[in-house]
Structure 1
């Protein structure tokens, strides 16, 4: 890695993120870098990014307002899988590209591919170093080269961000609790525990078959649950369900879910 020395030299300095991005671009060219720090399900910390202002609004500010909770990279920070370089299309659910998170939020990025290093800094903080391309996917050879420099990236990032302390001291709610609280507010207690599970998996991008397999029920039963959810929430589409979810996470849920959904769509347009 040509820039490894500079990366090591800049550990602990404000130039570290820029040096890290430069080093990674020397391995495989790409367009944008963003490094988020995750502490449980708390609002992500923007540790570094090199977006132009118009792109930063979508990729950082809007992302932090709620969509991150459905991001496969964020979800990868919560599981116990091995850290390392992950391709979005490999860790995403089976219907991710047909799901509402993709259609309502991620498709707006116009990215050809996103890959990211998932790094466990300590017991509290996990970071994701995301590399984004606008025009074409990373080749097999490029991914292989990026995996080869993993030891340098992992060690340097853990050293640089080892003392990061989130504003809430790490005392964030568990994601399952936050989602349950949100849907209690949306449905005023009318959604069952099973229906909340179906909502969460649907919004993450899982198909009816995949949801049924995870919950031990048939895909037909999943579809019945979805119809019941729409009826109870007085909505008629997955798009409205996504909007209601985001408003719930923002604490902007009123007595009329469709009205909240309309406001969310207005903010995104």
Structure 2
């Protein structure tokens, strides 16, 4: 059952009469919490070639390093929410389980970083506060809690226009200049698009891109309309051509490619 319209009208009015930025974002977080309780809230801006900018969070001091500082040090490059922004997902409410593939919990991002957050569920509002800028307002529930239920999801989706406006005003009011990223967004896109392409066939290259996004062999087979066995053959062949033996080495090679001159730029391969 939807909250009484008058209740929402009063709450939204209260939010929008706050000063843009931290006061308004805190009022927004409190309102969202009233019908979809969360343990942590964090807002990141992804703007141009800059590092993710944390505009607001409700983290206790002892968790800031893990949730914010460590994330900005590099893991954001493999975050499904960040990738959703990078690849132009429409504004809306998304769940980690919706954006991430089925194999997420055995993937590199989970092993290297996400498991340390000890979450049972995460939702994210993807918004576009300005041209060239995307934002993610994440709502997180800690380990031991329950995932967001359908009623909470429905109400949160209804709240999207309010979230979009508050985030837009926070973007306009921000005082902290964004820091230059180690890697420009254009560079990440370029490396993702071209990674290994001079060594791999077109089909192997497509499978490599899907692997980088965390898809399992079963999901790749379904997307490409081939058998799981065929995917395994292509995967074995691309590992051999890239001179690696495991998924961990595959992700490590991709990260090194991001951080250095292309490893394979001088090699040539006749793609089929």
TM-score > 0.5, shorter chain as reference: yes
CA shift for structure 1 position 249? 3.3
Aligned CA RMSD, in angstroms, stands at 3.3
Q: Determine helix, strand or coil for the equivalent of 2:165.
A: helix
Farther off after superposition, 125-134 or 51-60: 51-60
Q: What's the CA shift for 1:14? A: 3.9
**Displacement after TM superposition at 1:50 (Å):** 2.1
Contact 1:118 1:126 (C-alpha < 8 Å) held by counterparts: yes
Q: CA separation of 1:199/1:11 partners in 2, compared to 1, >3 Å: closer, same or farther? A: farther
- Per-residue CA deviations over 1:34-55 (Å, capped at 9, x if unaligned) read 1111135753222222223442
The answer to whether the 8 Å contact 1:116/1:128 transfers is yes
Corresponding residue for 2:103? 95
Runs of 4+ off more than 6 Å: none
Q: Against the structure 1 CA distance between its residues 243 and 60, is the aligned structure 2 distance closer, same or farther, given a 3 Å change threshold?
A: farther
Give yes or no for the alignment of 1:139 onto 2:152: no
Moved more, 119-128 or 241-250: 241-250
Structure 2 gap ranges (5+): 1-7, 264-272
Alignment of 1:116-195 (within 5 A): 116-134=124-142, 135-162=145-172, 166-167=178-179, 172-173=185-186, 175-179=188-192, 183=195, 190=199, 195=204
Q: Give the 3 Å change call, closer, same or farther, for CA 194–161 of structure 1 in structure 2.
A: same
Aligned counterpart, 1:30 = 38
* TM-score for the superposition, normalised by structure 1: 0.76
Asked which structure has the greater CA Rg, the reply is: 2
Residues 44 and 210 of structure 1, relative CA distance in 2, 3 Å threshold: same
Contact persistence 1:31–1:133 (CA under 8 A): yes
Alpha-carbon distance change, 42 to 193 in structure 1, aligned in 2, over 3 angstroms: farther
Instruction: Decide whether the 8 Å contact of 1:32 with 1:50 is kept in 2.
Output: yes
Partner of 2:209: 200
- Structure 1: give runs of 5+ residues left out of the alignment: 255-269
